[in-house]
Structure 1
Amino acid sequence: MDPIKIIRDHVVNGTIAKSTNDDTFIYVDDQSFYRKGQTNYKTTRGYLTVEAVWRFARVFAADPDKKHAEYMKETIADKFANVSTLDRKDLWAYLSGEKDSSAKIDITMPAYVVPEEERRDDATMAEADDEPAVHPLHTRNSILQCDKDFSAVLGFFGAKQVDKKKREREQQVVPLPTNRFGDVKEEQFYREAMGKDMLEMGIDPNMSFLDNKRQRLPQMSEADRLRGEALLGGGTRTGTQRKVSSSNKQQRKDPVAGQRPIIIVPAGYGSKVMFNMYNAPEFLAKEKLVTWESMHKAGEKKHSSITLKRKYKRPKSKQYPEGHVKYEITDKPPDKKDSKSWARVVAVFVSGKEWQFKDWPFKGAEEGDLVETFNKVRGFYAKYDVDTPAEVIKKWNVRTLSFQKNVRHGDRAQFEAFWDEVDKHLELKRSQLKY
């Protein structure tokens, strides 16, 4: 049984409020889980318990905008384990169906582990009923902590048994010191074996990298440095050569470093298109979804390109003296041969149609193979929570932004998700754009 998956299914279906609990168990439909049972959702504090995940899911399914401080206060008062604010965003994104998986779910661990005290009670009850006791499965950690002595197994196959006490005494014997080179003058030995230059350059052959105390090597003079280069066959280098070598070590500057990033939106007006140049800038700047249809009817002017001042997570600082950073929003992709402009494209809102990418320069784009496209550019698909996404979206590596049809208080969460994903994408690519 996987309690997290079962709880997630009920959150997505809107039935989590029907689940109940008592002092020992969490009841979800016809399933029961020990409250203190361990899930495989790993946090900095360890693995979350079933009660922590369940209580968190019930609270935020009922009120997604609930303050975390209020949730913590109520949870502690009711004597439930809680979810920290560091894990809230990721866990809720998974439980609510916003994303299909979580990197914090440890697939190497069992999805559900019964508490040790409950396992002991179950075993005692089984013995009392003359039934065989149920033994817990070994986990990875318990196996690593097991005794590694295989003498019993070897004995079963007829191997000679080893006296453990004798083996321990042998291990305690200190090897005798050797004086193999005692009759050789140490300095003369190293001169012959390693060359006199090693000693003259201040390298102590007695030192080891395994020594506990780190020793600082003496500063090398220019004459010693040149002699060392000669020994390595490099000869002496001119000042110009040294400058070239130094410059080669420096990171090559990106030709678009410091330029503003580009975000592309669909140019269409279909019923499945939630964002175009009417309303995308409005959402990305003001955190609120206004339908492009309403803006079109109101007579708003549609531009093919607009410069957006992003203020989210960009307060005034040395890095952002103006308190914002500029992005270019457009529905006209750059010319296919304009590599510099394409290097600035960081995100795209997809319509769910493969032909949207037919003039894109990335490998496979013309044939509908968008693996490289969504590796280079972070893709986003926006829809209402009551709509079914286009089938092709399931095959694409894009982030789904799900908006409530008639309620706008959840728009902020999707706004934050968009910008956080863009930042993560750019950091992963070590982009030198000004973002």
Structure 2
Amino acid sequence: MDPLTLLRDYTIRNSLDRIVRVNDEFRFGSDYSFAATIETAYRSKHAQQTRRYTLETLVHFITNHHLKHTDYIQNARALRIPAVTLPDRKPLLDYLTGKVQSSDSIVPLDFPNINPQITNLDRPNLHHDSSAAAAAAAAEPLVSESEGNLIELIRAKEKPIKDREAMLVFANRDFYSVLTAATKRDEERQRTEALQRKDNIVAKNRIESRGFSTGEDANKMRKMGEGVPIILVPSAFSTLITIYNVKDFLEDGVYIPTDVKLKQAKGGKPDCVTVQKKFSRDRVVTAYEVRDKPTALKSDDWDRVVAVFVLGKEWQFKEWPFKGHVEIFNKILGFYMRFEDDSVESAKTVKQWNVKIISISKNKRHQDRAAALEVWDKLEEFMRSRSH
């Protein structure tokens, strides 16, 4: 199978995550591998007549086609990958995603003129284990000398493909690192769960140590101290922070778009996600629950809600047990995430609310950590004021 057809097939099946680059080649699952710089059958109409897009260019384009063209060009230049021209973007995207079945930009690669009728290779009875077939095979060769030359021409154009066993053979590498990485992740998960249980116990002990053991005051303090604090995020995908990517942003300080996380997700949508401030020097780290279904919260759960990421729309708070956004943001800390180069109009409504606007870059991922720290600082300051 040629690389252009294979890339189109993987795009239509939403299997681009199975295309992995290893050194100077792309591997399509465990079945095919091609050199990154191999030319494909797709030729640009707006460049030299002989210019064909390489597999490297097409893979980079289809995985970054959501970027603006200027951002895409800059990204391609930074990686030193030839870019797809602006006029070619839409017809190429339509073909790779299956919107059109063919394109006049597809010019098959030239192969030597060969005779397709190699009759001796298509004998139906050669695989039968019979004396007649054996005698026929011994009487004449499978291919003639001229046919053998044609086969050599075909093999000269072929790319050897690795099988599953060959894929597991690497020089100076074993799978011990895979085992240790898996073990490390399991230990990290166990530590997280242990810290969460410890936080609940510490909060409970603090309440009892302050002398709140009976009466209405004790019940009020227990409501604020028991259980894990809740952070609400919108369920709409139009917002930057959702239940799919909130853990990467708050725990690791990295923003990953929701559509990317959806492709990586295994299983259904989670009802609740637990996050912690991992990049902290504090010995006691508080765990938070992140949810995106306010209607599923009970009255006791609302006492644990400490923060919310807002959409900037009033209807987000339609069924909340508060009189309006003024009361909400007096009791709950509000955040609004935006890209730093978005228009001012997008945050016009939010600027009238008592919320903190957090700006991140569309492309500079090294700046995400500072934005995540800003969220944690405001949240921890709010939690301290709430406990007094």
Q: TM-score, normalised to structure 1's length?
A: 0.37
Q: Which has the larger radius of gyration?
A: 1
Q: TM-score, normalised to structure 2's length?
A: 0.41
